[in-house]
Structure 1
Amino acid sequence: MKISTPLPSSDYNIWLKPSLKPSYLPAEDIVVCRDSKARIVSRFCDWIWDFRVYVNSTKATGKINFNREIYRTNLGLLLDVKHLLWIAINTHQSNSGEYSVSSYIRWHSVLLSMSSYCVEKAITLETILSSKAIFNDFLRFKCHKTQTANAITLLRILHSVNRNITGCLIVEPSHKDHRTNEDDDFYQTLVIPSRILFHCINKVKKSVDEFVSHAERLEKVVLLLASPRSTEDFRNLIQSNSLEKLAEDHNIKNATNLSTYLSMIQFCSKTMIHIYSGMRRDEGYSLLPGCFRKEVIDDDEGYWIHGITTKIAGYRKKTAWVTSYEIAPAMQAAEKIYSWINSLCSLPNDAPLFSNTSHFSFSISHKRTIADHNDHKLANLTHHRFNHIFSGPEFLITNQDYEEIRFIEYSRNWEQEKRFIPGNLWHFTTHQFRRSLAYYGIDSGLISYSALHSQLKHIRMQMTVHYTKGGAAANSFFEGASIHFRHEYSKTKSIVNGLDYVKNIQLSEERLHGGHGLHVEKNIKPIGKTEILLNRQITVKQVESGLIAYKRRATGGCVSPTPCHRHLISPLSACTTCKDGAVIPSLLASATETYIRFMETLEPGSPEHIMAQLELNKAITLSKKLNIGS
């Protein structure tokens, strides 16, 4: 039963009456949303606006609920809120052509907070919207970081609309006035320590590979259990298909446990995709079967995942992510489970790759989970549900992990940290993989890659090349692929370079050589490590702003503000004699060994071999002159 919004009583105080005076108001019976069959779901007058038909997320409710105490007792505010929200929704949709339900819900949350502020301060919504000072006070006292951004976005949309439609003059907000303060970094998603990330990759990869090796026999069990006429005993099915070891290892004692195991494999597959692509949580849910493809872009062969994003554009938009062949088994596992579900349930053509295992009749949640408006059930693959698989001792935070992450997240308030401390299990979230990919994808030597190299080699080389070169040039091919990850990569690159400069140059325990190396030895190292660490935020900001132009080199680093190609011609000796170079003896020795192995691949007596031998001789002479061991 639908409940209409009653008109406000005449005895309300002035600030509780509608404060907006538009040239016209929406009709109460105007349709807000229809379902996939064009049936009316919600009207303007309803207490609930239901947009679930457009939702593709496991966590989003898809509903805007106006049935709240503050609205019931201040109906003038309710009319103002509905009017503004309706304008924002229509303006956004006319610009994008798409629905963005999560945005609508966030905008209503902002308007709800504004309503609370109105009652508290005895002011109207018009007063907040038309006064920059009062709007800023509202943000300061009522909004956290994320809601501040949402409030500014909402006002920008409303500001773009004619005042005769909104019913008042609306100020133009600016993100500059509300930049993040020092406390924002306390809530920043953390980069995963390299050791823990290594074990995470190994864990999910091992689970996926194990599933793929048993998939053919598991398929027989699943299809028999899901058959309506099946009378097979579960234990007999497991034994007859030689799955006793798998069942024992994963505690699969009955059909319900099997359904949970299949969900866990979906989670591991999705985690692998996030690790090797950088996509967000809901972007992973947008994937369809067949989304993983091998393609040639800019004459370079690579692997891509096609899906949907709402990042940047604010609405559902086709895009593609660069990835690695490492995820091939994960995609195979996910598509295998999808095919089983589809063969039993005849899913719609647009059913997501990660459909819910509750489609199986033997799942305990088969009757509990209701299909959405698109007639399919989306998998619930949250970290809250599956983080228990990362509960082994290898996922306990060590002192070394703690120091590593504290160095990376230098501006976080670690004195207040209670979760990510030594002795605790690392708590994974999807966005951590995105930030970690950005950090570890930059080949800057931030962290020793000895343990990660075998697993992350594609992240460091192939994927980096695509994101910075091929991906940027392939936008038109991928129907306007968003800058979703290249933006994160670019934003992180200068931070990583700054941290690398502090760690490997300023804090180097070896005696540096080269022009800049001698400068660091003479003017920076004498102030002491404590002072260098205290000033690292300033140093990183200087690198970000270009005041320090630091780049990693094979033998150390370079601070030249202009492009330099000498290191390409003379990779061992160039920085040693350069005023902008900083040579680290151990890196020079390592680079020399690598160079010698490279020379062995060249034909003796060839021009290439002769030039390489001259460079090697020059490097050895310089090393002896500077008393650097080789």
Structure 2
Amino acid sequence: MQLSGAKTGLRFHGAFADTAKRFGIFELLERWVGRSGDLQVRTLTSYLKLVNRAGLAYILNFSLMRVEEAWNLRAGCLDVEHDKSFGDIFLLRGQTTKTLSDSDALWVTSPSVEVAVRAMEVISLFRSLHASHLEASGLAGRYLTDSYHEPWLPSRKNDDHSLRPSIPPYAALLGQYDKLFDLERLRITTEDLKLARLATPSLPEEYQVGAVWPLAWHQLRRTGAVNMQASGLVSDASLQYQLKHITRAMSLYYGQNHSRVRLEEKAHTLYVRTMYETLGRELQQLTSERFVSPHGDKRKAEIVRLISPEDAKKMIGLAKKGTVACRQILLGVCSSRVPCPYGGIDNIAHCGGGDSKDAKPCPDVLYDSERLDAVDDLEHILKERLATAQDGSPLMESLVAQQRSLKSFRRVIGSANGR
């Protein structure tokens, strides 16, 4: 039906809910932003904002960017380099100015970020087409998060589109989009609080068991750093407790042989700090009965003599100074403060004294009783490889040596557990 006053040139095509059904998006909108069947055109606006915010969180989760840096990414920021040996390498390209000035900085990211960036680019393009005052500047000129409006919203002539909109708090999503998060999954458990206070003893009172975790964008950045430290690729063994020693393991994590790509300085600093906090937490656990020395309680006491299970700050300090070491290996941890020439990550022959029939376990090793499942898996792999190994070959000798180390591990852990 033609609207009264044909000057507008607009036509009424029915209720928005009917239009949404006709285009197959009714269920989608109702699932994420609909309220009690009241589906209006502003619901689509709300959904586009939700996709944008989710995309922002996605980018932060899979990079070490600050929220300000991700907020100011532009369309076309995702680069994919093709390497014959390592496949596709995904890079985010943007600007960093907080600790250094670089208008073309790079962050290595996960391939899964592509879906978020593409969705944000589509929304940005759609909004920019409505901004008649804006010159068509091409794909690379628009921000992924912009201040332009959808065509169905009232035009505001006084808006200054040269100004970037302020960044909404991450926690605000809880109130704006009540279908996005399961609040019960966000409630702090006793174990959550215990681990959080190990890392940050001075947590404010708002962190209480049963309370909803106070979300902040920076937590995503910090979590990324923690996961890097906890991954099997960026390990204490490869870094040798010093981030300045760029090793192959670290370069693999940073985008498969792209360790020369410079991470922005603040991310580097955050990673180092988080690495030491993680080391501090690991050191605190070494005094528990979970860890056993194959050379007896006296040797374990010598290894952990400086460790205080209650003093997290002290442990972080010891980790920074290198006074006490805690390098994860397949059988537990290695307390050696110097790089090990024998491995321990991919070969345990020396750790458990399997080098020869008369050899003893390494004096720096502490067996971890919680590694039994991993030991079972390794034993299965060794048996499979032994079945095809050539008699008398170096591979055969290495596999047999590792089997001897596994027997040592089982014997020591079994004795500690009274078996």
Instruction: Report the Cα offset of residue 624 of structure 1.
Output: 5.5
Secondary structure of the residue aligned to 1:359 is: coil
Instruction: Look up the equivalent residue of 2:310 and give its one-letter code.
Output: L
When residues 369 and 557 of structure 1 are mapped into structure 2, their CA distance, relative to the original with a 3 A threshold, is farther
Instruction: Look up the equivalent residue of 1:538 and give its one-letter code.
Output: K
TM-score w.r.t. the length of structure 1 is 0.52
Instruction: Report the Cα offset of residue 378 of structure 1.
Output: 4.4
Instruction: Report the Cα offset of residue 269 of structure 1.
Output: 0.5
When residues 285 and 560 of structure 1 are mapped into structure 2, their CA distance, relative to the original with a 3 A threshold, is same
Measured in 2, the distance between the counterparts of 1:570 and 1:393 equals: 40
C-alpha offsets along residues 164-198 of structure 1, whole Å, 9 cap, x if unaligned? xxxxxxxxxxxxxxxxxxxxxxxxxxxxxxxxxxx
Instruction: Give the count of matched residue pairs.
Output: 369
Q: Does 1:353 align with 2:353?
A: no
Alignment of 1:298-313 (within 5 A): 300-301=86-87, 302-313=89-100
Alignment of 1:2-13 (within 5 A): none
Q: Is contact 1:438-1:488 (8 Å) kept? A: yes
Instruction: Look up the equivalent residue of 1:232 and give its one-letter code.
Output: H
Instruction: Look up the equivalent residue of 1:439 and give its one-letter code.
Output: V
Measured in 2, the distance between the counterparts of 1:395 and 1:559 equals: 36
Q: Does 1:372 align with 2:161?
A: yes
C-alpha offsets along residues 266-289 of structure 1, whole Å, 9 cap, x if unaligned? 000000100110211110122111
Secondary structure of the residue aligned to 2:120 is: helix
Instruction: Look up the equivalent residue of 1:290 and give its one-letter code.
Output: G
Secondary structure of the residue aligned to 1:500 is: helix
Runs of 4 or more consecutive aligned structure 1 residues displaced over 6 Å after TM superposition = 461-464
Q: Of the candidates 55, 59, 81, which is equivalent to residue 269 of structure 1?
A: 55
Q: Is contact 1:281-1:430 (8 Å) kept? A: yes
Q: Is contact 1:355-1:379 (8 Å) kept? A: no
Instruction: Report the Cα offset of residue 549 of structure 1.
Output: 2.6
The Cα RMSD (Å) is 3.5
Identity %: 17
Q: Of the candidates 578, 582, 594, which is equivalent to residue 378 of structure 2?
A: 594
Instruction: Report the Cα offset of residue 263 of structure 1.
Output: 0.5
Alignment of 1:109-508 (within 5 A): 229-233=10-14, 234-252=16-34, 253-295=39-81, 300-301=86-87, 302-313=89-100, 315=101, 317-345=103-131, 348-349=137-138, 350-356=141-147, 358-363=148-153, 366-367=155-156, 370-373=159-162, 378=165, 381-388=168-175, 389-390=180-181, 392-410=183-201, 412=202, 414=203, 417-443=204-230, 465-467=252-254, 470-475=257-262, 482-503=264-285, 505-507=286-288
Measured in 1, the distance between the counterparts of 2:62 and 2:79 equals: 14
When residues 261 and 600 of structure 1 are mapped into structure 2, their CA distance, relative to the original with a 3 A threshold, is same
Measured in 2, the distance between the counterparts of 1:242 and 1:469 equals: 41
When residues 378 and 487 of structure 1 are mapped into structure 2, their CA distance, relative to the original with a 3 A threshold, is same
Q: Of the candidates 525, 532, 535, which is equivalent to residue 308 of structure 2?
A: 532
Instruction: Report the Cα offset of residue 463 of structure 1.
Output: 8.1
Q: Does 1:541 align with 2:317?
A: yes
Match of 1:615 in 2: 401
Instruction: Look up the equivalent residue of 2:124 and give its one-letter code.
Output: Y
Secondary structure of the residue aligned to 2:64 is: coil
Instruction: Report the Cα offset of residue 405 of structure 1.
Output: 1.0
Q: Is contact 1:292-1:306 (8 Å) kept? A: yes
> Which ranges in structure 1 are unaligned for 5 or more consecutive residues?
1-226, 446-460, 476-480
Match of 2:363 in 1: 579
Match of 2:327 in 1: 551
Secondary structure of the residue aligned to 1:322 is: strand
When residues 430 and 598 of structure 1 are mapped into structure 2, their CA distance, relative to the original with a 3 A threshold, is farther
Instruction: Report the Cα offset of residue 398 of structure 1.
Output: 1.6
When residues 347 and 263 of structure 1 are mapped into structure 2, their CA distance, relative to the original with a 3 A threshold, is farther
Q: Is contact 2:382-2:403 (8 Å) kept? A: no
Q: Is contact 2:252-2:259 (8 Å) kept? A: no
Instruction: Look up the equivalent residue of 1:262 and give its one-letter code.
Output: L
Instruction: Report the Cα offset of residue 341 of structure 1.
Output: 1.9
TM-score w.r.t. the length of structure 2 is 0.76
Q: Does 1:563 align with 2:339?
A: yes
C-alpha offsets along residues 485-536 of structure 1, whole Å, 9 cap, x if unaligned? 2332123212211211212x223x33502459753357859x9xxx933333
Q: Is contact 2:293-2:300 (8 Å) kept? A: no
When residues 259 and 230 of structure 1 are mapped into structure 2, their CA distance, relative to the original with a 3 A threshold, is farther
Secondary structure of the residue aligned to 2:292 is: coil
Instruction: Report the Cα offset of residue 254 of structure 1.
Output: 0.9
Q: Is contact 1:354-1:379 (8 Å) kept? A: no
When residues 298 and 604 of structure 1 are mapped into structure 2, their CA distance, relative to the original with a 3 A threshold, is closer
Instruction: Look up the equivalent residue of 1:248 and give its one-letter code.
Output: E
Instruction: Report the Cα offset of residue 544 of structure 1.
Output: 1.0
Q: Is contact 2:61-2:220 (8 Å) kept? A: yes
Instruction: Look up the equivalent residue of 1:495 and give its one-letter code.
Output: E
Instruction: Report the Cα offset of residue 611 of structure 1.
Output: 3.7
Measured in 1, the distance between the counterparts of 2:78 and 2:168 equals: 20
Q: Is contact 2:251-2:258 (8 Å) kept? A: no
Measured in 2, the distance between the counterparts of 1:380 and 1:510 equals: 45
> Which ranges in structure 2 are unaligned for 5 or more consecutive residues?
1-7, 233-247, 353-360
Measured in 2, the distance between the counterparts of 1:483 and 1:300 equals: 26
Q: Is contact 1:444-1:497 (8 Å) kept? A: no
Instruction: Look up the equivalent residue of 1:548 and give its one-letter code.
Output: V
Match of 1:192 in 2: none
Measured in 2, the distance between the counterparts of 1:608 and 1:340 equals: 63
Match of 1:207 in 2: none
> Greater CA radius of gyration, 1 or 2?
1
When residues 258 and 515 of structure 1 are mapped into structure 2, their CA distance, relative to the original with a 3 A threshold, is same
Q: Is contact 1:557-1:583 (8 Å) kept? A: yes
Secondary structure of the residue aligned to 1:540 is: helix
Measured in 2, the distance between the counterparts of 1:523 and 1:463 equals: 28
Between structures 1 and 2, the one with greater helix share? 1
Secondary structure of the residue aligned to 1:439 is: helix
Measured in 2, the distance between the counterparts of 1:524 and 1:250 equals: 52
